[in-house]
Amino acid sequence: MLKYEKLIIIFRRDNMIKGEANISPRETQIEVKKVYITPDVLKTIEECGRTAYLSFDKITDESAESFIDMIVRRGHESVLEHAVLSVRVKGISRSCSHQLVRHRLVSYTQQSQRYVDEKNFSIIVPNSIKKDGEAYDNFLELMEQIKSFYSFLQKKGVPNQDARFVLPNATETQICVTTNLREWRHILELRGSPHAQWEIREMAIRVYEILKEECPIIVSDFELTDKRTLRKIRKIE
């Protein structure tokens, strides 16, 4: 008997709640929405950056982009830390958010599994599982059993903060992320790479698209390939 079969049998004991599990797997629809960006972001970066050179007399209505392009080309990216971008990320799994929060110079506020009742949690299903009919059917059955067992624990008086111990990495979550533009560039370089996991790579691409719309000079040395990955197209001079 396969291990996954043993697991499902354990979940099917007579004292389980019947008819409450109803898993609705979502298509991967990652949503990244801008919450906040530093006002006059390019002018803010330029004014702070020109302190190093005491070159405030060179500031004009059109000087910010060329100044920022110069400091990025020279690798002086610390100046970009004077501006921040906050985004809300929805439609990702807990597996993805666990990767994201490894970036330490970032502020996070994530959907809580302690304060939010997860009895109707949605799941994110990788295509590698979905395309295999047998694997997909067993995956959904396991998720249904987990949902039923979560409700069972709640009805036994187990608080959400303890019932959440059974929730899978596939559980859908949302998270707000705030960091400076230098760190965002670092995240894009690592997580937009073809070597990154597919879910966090797609999230990074959505952030790139926001930055390209809001302040394109900040990501002008990145390119979105036809394979939905990011690559740097210019090296430090």
What pLDDT is attached to residue 24?
60
Which is it for the CA torsion 109, 112, 115, 118, positive or negative? positive
Active site (annotated) includes residue 191: yes
Choosing from 191, 201, 228, 234, the catalytic residue is 191
Q: Is 128 helix (H, G, I), strand (E, B) or coil?
A: helix
Those residues with Cβ within 8 angstroms of residue 228's Cβ, 6 or more apart along the chain or in another chain = 201, 202, 205
Structure-token match 């533009």, residue found: 181
* Ordered per-residue pLDDT tens for the chain, 237 residues: 344 444 444 444 444 444 444 566 655 589 999 999 999 999 999 999 999 999 999 999 999 999 999 999 999 999 999 999 999 999 999 999 999 999 999 999 999 999 999 999 999 999 999 999 999 999 999 999 999 999 999 999 999 999 999 999 999 999 999 999 999 999 999 999 999 999 999 999 999 999 999 999 999 999 999 999 999 987 766
Of 85, 75, 74, the residue nearest 44 (C-alpha) = 85
What pLDDT is attached to residue 23?
63
DSSP state of 197: -
- Report yes or no: 35 and 171 within 8 Å, Cβ to Cβ: no
CA–CA dist 67, 108 (Å, integer): 31
What pLDDT is attached to residue 223?
96
Task: Spell out the domains of the chain, with CATH numbers in brackets.
Answer: 32-90+174-232 (3.30.1360.170)
What pLDDT is attached to residue 22?
59
- Report yes or no: 4 and 142 within 8 Å, Cβ to Cβ: yes
Which is it for the CA torsion 42, 47, 53, 57, positive or negative? positive
What pLDDT is attached to residue 234?
76
| Cα–Cα distances in angstroms (integers) from residue 175 to residues 81, 167, 172, 210, in the given order | 21, 17, 10, 16
CA–CA dist 150, 154 (Å, integer): 6
CA–CA dist 53, 73 (Å, integer): 17
pTM: predicted TM-score of the whole model, two decimal places: 0.89
